[in-house]
Amino acid sequence: MNGRPRTAAPVLLLLLLSLLLFPASPLAPAGSAAAAGKPAVTLSGAEAGTGASVTVSGSGWRPRTLLMLLICGRASPARGLTGGTNSCANADGRAVTTDAQGRFTRALPVSEPPDPCPCVVHVATATGARAQVDVVFRVAGHPVEPLPAASSAGGRLAVLTDTRLDGSGGLLTWFGAPPARTLVLTVGNLGTTTVKDPVFQVGTAHGVFAPQWDERQWRGTIPPGGKARVKLPVELSAGAHGDYTVSLKYGGRVLAEQPWDVGRPWGVTLFWILLCLVVPAAVFRIGMAVVDRVRPRNRRARPTRRGRRTRKGPGPDGPGGREPSAVPASTSAILPWFTPGTAPVTADRLSAPHDDRPTSPRLPAGREPSE
């Protein structure tokens, strides 16, 4: 009984020391990376030739996020993609979705980008908030040229605040009109010369495709060290919908990117549904009207009451005669195309006795006819 505490005390002490000391070193970096929340990318190798592949691993990204992996030329981690995604090997790019912890691993085939190196492996989000990481990578056998110098003749502009898209869609946009917004941002002149009437390039990209650039000139002057509010129009093609990315570039450098979720033009769908219902109904009505006009019509005689008596008086048979009785309703019903008085003589009419004497009205019982 007295030996158990002496044996258990050293064991418990060793367990506490192992829990406090040994897990501290491997868990400290992971805890700091998770707290920082910055996306990171690592490569299985820094150089590879065309036809090989490099394994790209990442952590710290948003969970369940679609990423695109590209090998781009004329780029660096400090300056980014100076030529945009047009300088990347887009045909051999890969897409990957992060797991619940924001990690991923994907094999990326090595191919030569359209522009010369320095090259990077470009990892960026395809949807949602913009996030990207560029890692230096060398493509063996691909030419290398220095990066183009930043243009200083027109100053050096930088974005000072977050960009946004102002505006909303209207009724015409709901029916397929081109969606339009206004890109609003604040830029500052970090150079030593005044910038007057700068010409920006506004690009729109759908999903993982390369942006289509259009020039937009802003009228105004930005002195060295000054800033200005810039508003540039952005317009998509008619019927556009889905996830788009609006990019702003000046002096060969991308200044800002803004995601744009364009709604589907449901008015166009409603129009086609109504068209598929109205046109067949109209054709059916027109066809029925034509058939009703073309088909032959049967002339039916107006039926008369059976047993209808005509008034007495001079007639074709003399003073005491009576006019021929009308055709019975049964005969008119059987032979509708004959008019009254022209029905043919049937067997029942030939066998029936013919009496031309006038009939007297029936009197009630017990009364004598007056003289």
Reported as a single tens digit per residue, the pLDDT across 324-336 is: 555 454 444 455 5
Pairing mode, strands 132-140 and 119-125: antiparallel
- Per residue in 201-233, pLDDT tens? 899 988 777 788 888 889 899 988 889 999 999
Interatomic CA distance for residues 364 and 340, integer angstroms: 34
Element (H, E) at 228: strand 227-235
What mean pLDDT do residues 279-293 have?
A: 89
pLDDT band at 4 (very low <50, low <70, confident <90, very high): very low
Phi, psi at 93, each rounded to 5°: -75, 165
Of 24-28, 180-184, 289-293, 307-311, give the range with the top mean pLDDT: 180-184
| Pairwise pLDDT comparison (159 vs 342), residue with the higher score | 159
Let me know the angle formed at the C-alpha of 106 by 101 and 107, rounded to the nearest 5 degrees. Answer: 165
- Per residue in 361-370, pLDDT tens? 555 555 555 5
Residues 6+ apart with CB under 8 A from 206: 240, 242, 243, 244
Q: 131 with 104: CB under 8 angstroms? A: no
Torsion of CA 258, 62, 211, 90, to 10 degrees: 170
Pairing mode, strands 53-59 and 40-43: antiparallel
Residue 31 structure tokens: 């805890």
- Per residue in 85-130, pLDDT tens? 778 998 899 999 999 999 999 999 999 999 999 999 999 888 767 7
pTM: 0.45
